Homo-oligomer: A and B are copies of this chain.
Amino acid sequence: MSREGLNRRSFLTGGAAAIGGAALALGGRAVWDEEPVPMPAPDAVGQATEEFRGIRQAGVSTRPQAFASFVALDLRSDVDHDALVRLMRIWTDDIERLSQGRAPLADTEPELGAVPARLTVTVGYGPAVFRAAGLERLAPAWLRPLPAFTVDRLEDRWNDGDVVLQVCADDETTVAHAVRLLVKDARTFVTVRWLQRGFRSTPGSTPPGTTMRNLMGQVDGTRNPDLGVEPELVWQPDGASDALAGSTSLVVRRIAMNLDTWDELDRDGREKAVGRRLDTGAPLTGRKEHDVPDLDAVDANGLTVIAPFAHVRRARDDEHPEQRFLRRGYNYDEAPAPGELSSSGLIFATYQADVDTQFVPIQRRLDELDLLNEWTTPIGSAVFFVPGGARAGEYLGQRLLES
């Protein structure tokens, strides 16, 4: 019976499951008025939670929730080390409660706080936090704006920031409420610089484990590392210094898609531009999404099947396997500008242990030659240090701020 129970439980999407009448399946009396089988609770999506406490922050290796808001904030001029500690204490308490479905103390809409929906809030720091805290000596060398790329058309309204909140949940009302509460509780410390809202598929919309599609129709994010096998691609080791243990970095690039010109390209041209099939996401040299692209394969004419300019070739350098990172992107779709049909794109959010050695070389290669550049334009860019998580009794950022 336990194995059966496990099988059933593994099918349930949420944490809560009403187990009823399991004995029936073993040949017990049929009591028709009882629900004879375990079913997901009707609010399983809303009541599921993610763990907040730990040496690493949640929201990085967490299976991506359906919705995300990225909020960049600027520190007010009088914020110093002590003020940062106060802010982090407030946010730690808020985030812990919200993520567990318990309304924070200052929550004026506690009913909106009762649907955690796997909420995670991930806090990141720009260079200004290290300056304000008097900890410039601890700021990683890569914590600065990315080098300029020729494809960039950056707009200042989507760039940089002193602090970032990545707020993710499987319910958009939950995200809106958490953002409002966290910004409100920080109003004496920070002002809002920019806010980007994104989405993926709804839970239950596609089978679990399906890689998301972006609004160009591509399977997006296939080649994510397995952090169980290669945690060092994202995380500073648990045994690193207090300032670094469990930390990582977040790059947020806002990538506009020119769907009007993309529409002019036929299906074959689109697949050649990426090097993958549109239907399955498989490389043009393979059959399944996760097949490894064969960059040397040639067709009957002796040309490489995956073209020199294809995105998968340019994004990949098998001689430098460290040049990989965790992608955790979200689609955006806003009201079109006057005369336009749409305003769509991708919030390209990536996590990596070191921006300079992992992220920048790939972007340089893509900047030099990547056919996708024809239809995509980076219009925003920001880099943040993501401090380690709060273990029991700690506040977020404590090990760094007390270093």
- Is A202 touching B170 in the complex (CB atoms < 8 A)? yes
Partner of A45, one of B11, B184, B203: B203
Closest beta carbon of chain B to A164's beta carbon, Å: 14
Interface size on A, residues (CB 8 A): 79
Residues of B within 8 A of A344 (CB): 176, 180
Within 8 A of B (CB), among A30-57: 30, 32, 35-40, 42-46
Report Cα–Cα, A285/B301, bound state, in Å: 81
One digit per residue, 1 when the CB lies within 8 angstroms of any chain B CB and 0 when it does not, for chain A 1-42 equals 001100110010110000000001111001010011111101
Q: Mark A255-284, 1 if CB is under 8 A from B, else 0.
A: 000010011000000000000001100000
A42 partner, pick from B108, B204, B216, B335, beta carbons under 8 A = B204
- Tell whether A204 pairs with B109 under 8 Å between CB atoms, given A30-B25, A176-B331: no
Whether a CB of chain B sits under 8 angstroms from the CB of A205 is yes
User: Is B194 within 8 A of A342, CB to CB?
Assistant: no
The one of B32, B108, B334, B336 that contacts A263, using a Cβ cutoff of 8 Å: B108
Residues of chain B lying within 8 A (CB to CB) of residue A278? 111
Stoichiometry, as copies per complex, reads 2
A110: chain B residues at CB < 8 Å are 217
In the complex, whether A172 has a CB less than 8 A from a CB of chain B is: yes
In the complex, are the beta carbons of B37 and A37 less than 8 A apart?
Answer: yes
Task: Report if A379 contacts B (CB, 8 A).
Answer: no
Q: Which of B24, B174, B202, B217 contacts A25 (CB 8 A)?
A: B24
> A203: which B residues are within 8 A, CB to CB?
45, 202-204
Flag A212-225 by CB within 8 Å of B: 1 or 0 each: 01011100000000
Chain B hits for A32, CB < 8 A: 3-4, 7
A239 at interface, CB cutoff 8 A: no
> Is A38 touching B40 in the complex (CB atoms < 8 A)?
no
Do A201 and B111 have beta carbons less than 8 Å apart?
Answer: no
Question: A150 on the interface (CB 8 Å rule)?
Answer: no
Q: Which residues of B contact A111 (CB under 8 A)?
A: 213, 217, 278-279
State which residues 172-196 of A face B: CB under 8 Å: 172-174, 176-177, 179-180, 183-184, 187, 191-192, 194-196
Decide yes or no whether A112 CB sits under 8 A from chain B: yes
- A: residues with CB less than 8 A from B are 3-4, 7-8, 11, 13-14, 24-27, 30, 32, 35-40, 42-46, 66, 108-112, 115, 117, 170-174, 176-177, 179-180, 183-184, 187, 191-192, 194-197, 199-208, 213, 215-217, 259, 262-263, 278-279, 331, 333-336, 339-342, 344
| Known contacts A11-B39, A42-B207, A204-B204, then 19 further A-B pairs from the complex at CB < 8 Å, ordered by chain A residue | A7-B36, A25-B37, A44-B204, A66-B172, A108-B262, A111-B217, A111-B278, A170-B205, A171-B202, A173-B200, A174-B205, A177-B215, A180-B344, A183-B341, A184-B263, A191-B339, A194-B335, A195-B335, A195-B336
Closest 6 CB pairs of A and B: A109-B217, A45-B204, A46-B205, A195-B335, A176-B333, A37-B37
- Listed A/B pairs (22) with beta-carbon separation below 8 Å: A4-B30, A7-B35, A8-B36, A8-B37, A11-B39, A24-B25, A25-B25, A25-B36, A42-B204, A43-B207, A45-B203, A46-B202, A108-B262, A111-B279, A171-B201, A173-B199, A176-B333, A184-B341, A192-B336, A197-B335, A202-B202, A203-B204
